[in-house]
Amino acid sequence: MTTRIFIDGEAGTTGLQIRQRLESNAAVTLVSIEPARRKDPEAKREILQQADAVVLCLHDDAARETVAMVDALKAAGQSNVRIVDASTAHRVAPGWVYGFAELCAGQREAIAGADRVANPGCYATGAIALLRPLIDAGLLAPDAAVCLPSVSGYSGGGRAMIEAYEAGEGAPFELYALGLSHKHLPEIMHCSGLTRTPLFVPSVGAFAQGMLVQLPLQQEWLRAGADADTVLSVLQTHYSGSEWVRVVDGRSQTKLNATALADQDGMELHVFGNAANGQILLVARLDNLGKGASGAAVQNLQIMFGW
């Protein structure tokens, strides 16, 4: 018997890419609302009663509305549907499991048993992947004053940004969220173990898909005696055996292409260092629509249903 999946918001960028990834999966049957009834709440109730899982590719308020509908159906004994929420609405909410299987020991098992999984944000995926192992290992203090300069492809910016770039009207490179209160900050702190708000400076480049999240470190900020080799070893140990995260000793590299993992669902964590200067640079490279969005949602579904 196949898993019946409803993508709520399948016409958006994330929803479309989730559909593309699932269409060829023999373990999945995709169910949809008829176009003429797409805005009919009763049509949504009917399909939530049939589906095994719903993936929410919606704005936060709309995601909360669908969750409330699921709650009402479950209370009435009319649905057992499980949720993967790709919005920001529930990433730090009680009762939701954070959908980054590599976060820590037991996280994959928690996802497998969960009825509510919050898909991580794209920037947050890279930031948490770099920070959490260092904090857990005691290499970096939770109150460290870190910064996270980052760049994403324009496909993560929504329809208006995508249309602007595809029309040749987007800037070659620009910083944004300069109020320093980006929506990914709460989950970065909640899931990395940081207790001090990092200086997170996102930017967008004139390429469709790809992402680099940087974590620059002075060696003196780390536990006494730790250096780039120590950091590399901690990351390699944390992600040993991971299906989707690869740790790379980048000290022989001089360049890093942000688009190299476009259309892929894995993530690379690169470690650079200059012992003479006492400086270390960590960089997470991923596709903002792959491991940063749609690919991560499919990975969570795979874990939840044991495909």
Q: Which residue has the tokens 């996802």?
A: 111
With both helix axes pointing from N to C terminus, report the angle between 13-22 and 295-305 in degrees, rounded to the nearest 10.
50
Q: Which of 26, 12, 92 is nearest to 55 (CA)?
A: 12
What CA–CA distance (Å, rounded) separates 24 from 214? 35
Q: Is 147 a catalytic residue?
A: no
Q: Which of 164, 183, 20 is nearest to 91 (CA)?
A: 183
Catalytic residue, candidates 104, 122, 147, 191 = 122
Q: Which of 105, 275, 291, 299 is nearest to 213 (CA)?
A: 291
What CA–CA distance (Å, rounded) separates 126 from 299? 16
> In angstroms, how far is CA 303 from the centroid of its own chain?
15
Q: Decide: 261 and 286 in contact? Cβ < 8 Å.
A: yes
What CA–CA distance (Å, rounded) separates 95 from 115? 9
CB atoms closer than 10 angstroms to residue 276: 6
Per DSSP, the three-state class of 44 is helix
Active site residues: 122
